[in-house]
Amino acid sequence: MAAVLKLIVVWQLADHPMVQPGVGLDTTAYADLARRVVSGDLGLGPGLYYLSPLYIYLLASGLWVTDSFTAVRVLQSLVGALAVGGVWTMTRAWAGTRAAWCAAALMTLTGLMTFYEAMILQASVDVALTTAALLALTWALHHGHRAEGAGSRWHVASGIVFGLAALNRPNMALAAAGLVVVLVGVKRFRPAVLLVLGIAAGMAPVVVRNVIVADQWSLGSSHGGLNFYIGNSDTATGFYHVVPGIAPDIAGQSRDARRVAERALGRPVSDTEASNYFFSLSLDWAIAHPGQAVNLFLKKLGWVFHAQHIALPYSYPFYAYDAQTALRFYVVGPWLLIPLGIVGLGVFIRRYPDRADALVWATFVPAYAASVALFFVAERYRLPLLVPLCVGSGIALDALAGTITNRHWRALVLPMIAFVVILGLANWKTTLSDGRWDEGIRLAQRYAILGQDAEANQWVQRLAVTAPRPGLAHYSVGMQYYASNKPGQAIEYLSEALRLDSGRANTEYGLGQALLKADRAAEALPHLQRGFDAGADVPMPGYDLALALRATGDASGAAAMIQGITPSPADDPEVWMSLGRIASSVQASDVAEPFFRQAALLQPSLASARLQYGLNLLVLNRIEDALRELTEAVRLDPRDPDALAHLGYCELLLGRREDALRHAEAALAIDPANDMAFQVRGAK
């Protein structure tokens, strides 16, 4: 039954635009890396992994066998169905058959697990890995008293699975460490050592790979420090938020984290050093603000045990209710499993004959919860927690049935009070968004990208009714059309957004951008100016305004506007060069000079930056400086005819005629129609 219910959801979501490999974010990153593995790039170097590595190879294995992402989803869901059997087995071992069936039924009807098992994400195997690890621990604790050899083997096996799970969900290593601490606390020293050995063995392949491929000692991927910083800083909210200077996608995080660290430290850094930089920022903040750090941790711990849906990147409620899937009928979730599971685990620890064994096993819940709260909270990060809570819920229902059967009414009082209190706290109404509207607008934007304009418009009209503010749905999809180089559709949606919410700075500026892209600069200029004056929150707001001023013939206005722009991002030479080119195009070479100079400083090995800087210096009649830059441009790219020809022109001006002719001939050999090279060769 569990397999059937899960496969129904896979079938319903198989063609959904938002769950395809090319949708972006983590899904696309995993798909791309898995394809590289299938093509033979097993090491995925250079550098550390920028994603948790286990799922990359699991996905690659599935693709190698099936060559189908849908087939992989089917396999993941079938493994999820096996995990239901694993929960049945471990619950039966701890509390009997009735409790086992209750736990398995609850897990089968937990839509959150089924949903993520149908995704191309590391979360798709979290439940299965957690179930396997806790099942092995169950057998280890049971066999430990009866057969030392069997108990030892299961402790090692449990550690290995925990280690593998940590390669998929890094904070799992911290949860496993919590189990080791409790084993030591109850004086189970040998099992503690065996568990540690197993964990080390499970994580060893990635450590070896990092040493061989990346030449760095690291237990995992490169983004641990950044994630820790996101969850622990003076700007931390307890949830994911964008860090200034770092793109909000996984590949961008890997690239930009190093860039930010290098800029702060003033030297090149490795992936490990970049991660350590962010760790150190967080630790310095926590040491300087201990009270604030403790309060933040407790706040996050509270969110771990709250039923609020916290989307990252997917919003489960959207797929359960707006995507018209069977998930709406899979009604069990954190809202029930948290209170029922916690009460059940309390009953389990109190009633189980060997309380030390029960305590060790149940410790996974607070240990894993704390490991999540050390970073930041998201719905999919909490999935492993639902596995022991299903077991605890089965135990609670079994205890309830037994108490009612035996008419021990007094024994119900404390558990029922605890259940009601925790139920209320876990389901306390909050103002936090569940991401449902945002997921809908991303779907509309996806339809816009795919050229399915009717579907995009249908979702815009639907979402406009519940938008956080008037015009936001139209604005969001209009800007997607703009980014997709479809200015006609962008103008239509942005004009409507402005009608619904007149005077909004970003909408004014966005409409101006779309009109400018449609070669309607005169119409664009007033919108851009109004958006700029109102403080539009866009990167380099003066950039498009400068383009419009140039297009309408106001060269001095364009030059003045460019001069006042602060490039963003400040460490991208292409951004600096683009600003310099605008200034050059309106004959403001003096304005362009610092932009080209900074581009060359940011990336001295970029031939185009050295060429642009050299050409600008030539216009400014700084011939010696121009010669230096153009010489370097030719060295970096000896096949660029413009660099060769203008280098020859500099040499001609400096009286070095033979060198000038040589470079002019080299330019003409590459581009026979190069005007500058002709001028140099024909000069007397």
pLDDT value, residue 627: 92
pLDDT value, residue 148: 56
351-383 pLDDT, tens per residue?
A: 899 999 999 999 999 999 999 999 999 999 999
606 within 8 A of 572, measured Cβ to Cβ: no
Across the range 473-485, mean pLDDT stands at: 96
Partnered with residue 110 across adjacent β-strands are 332
Q: List helix spans (H) across 501-541.
A: 505-517, 521-533
Partnered with residue 537 across adjacent β-strands are none
Across the range 43-66, mean pLDDT stands at: 89
Query: Mean pLDDT of all residues in the chain?
Result: 91
198-212 pLDDT, tens per residue?
A: 999 999 988 888 888
87-117 pLDDT, tens per residue?
A: 999 999 999 999 999 999 999 999 999 999 9
Q: 193 falls in which pLDDT band (50, 70, 90)?
A: very high
**Cis amide leading into 313 (omega within 30):** yes
Across the range 478-506, mean pLDDT stands at: 95
In the chain, what are the domains?
2-217+327-424 (no CATH), 553-600 (no CATH), 604-684 (1.25.40.10)
Which contiguous run of DSSP H or E holds residue 641?
A: helix 641-653
The span from the CA of 531 to the CA of 500, in Å, is 16
pLDDT value, residue 317: 96
11-24 pLDDT, tens per residue?
A: 999 999 999 998 87
Query: pTM of the full predicted structure?
Result: 0.88
The token pair that represents 560 in the structure block: 């003045």
Phi and psi angles of residue 408, each rounded to the nearest 5 degrees, phi first:
-90, 70
| AA letter at 274 | A
Across the range 289-315, mean pLDDT stands at: 94
Q: Which of 423, 171, 437 is nearest to 307 (CA)?
A: 423
Q: Which of 183, 186, 204 is nearest to 137 (CA)?
A: 183
pLDDT value, residue 144: 67
Contacts of residue 448, defined as CB under 8 A and 6 or more positions apart, other chains included, come to 456, 477, 480, 481, 484, 486, 489
Q: CA angle 426-427-428, nearest 5°?
A: 100
418-425 contacts: CB < 8 A, separation 24 or more? 418/342, 418/343, 418/346, 419/339, 419/340, 419/343, 420/339, 422/338, 422/339, 422/342, 422/343, 423/339, 425/305, 425/306
The span from the CA of 173 to the CA of 93, in Å, is 25
The span from the CA of 290 to the CA of 528, in Å, is 46
Q: 684 falls in which pLDDT band (50, 70, 90)?
A: low
pLDDT value, residue 267: 86
Phi and psi angles of residue 324, each rounded to the nearest 5 degrees, phi first:
55, 50
pLDDT above 70 for 222: no
233-282 pLDDT, tens per residue?
A: 999 999 998 888 787 777 677 778 888 888 888 888 888 888 889 999 99
**Packing angle, helices 505-517 and 521-533, rounded to 10:** 160
The span from the CA of 176 to the CA of 194, in Å, is 12
pLDDT value, residue 216: 76
Number of Cβ within 10 Å of residue 245's Cβ equals: 15
pLDDT value, residue 147: 45
The token pair that represents 205 in the structure block: 């392949």
129-163 pLDDT, tens per residue?
A: 999 999 999 999 987 654 456 668 899 999 999 99
Partnered with residue 332 across adjacent β-strands are 110
Phi and psi angles of residue 308, each rounded to the nearest 5 degrees, phi first:
-55, 130
Across the range 78-86, mean pLDDT stands at: 96
397 within 8 A of 127, measured Cβ to Cβ: no
The token pair that represents 306 in the structure block: 């709250």
77 within 8 A of 3, measured Cβ to Cβ: yes
pLDDT value, residue 55: 95
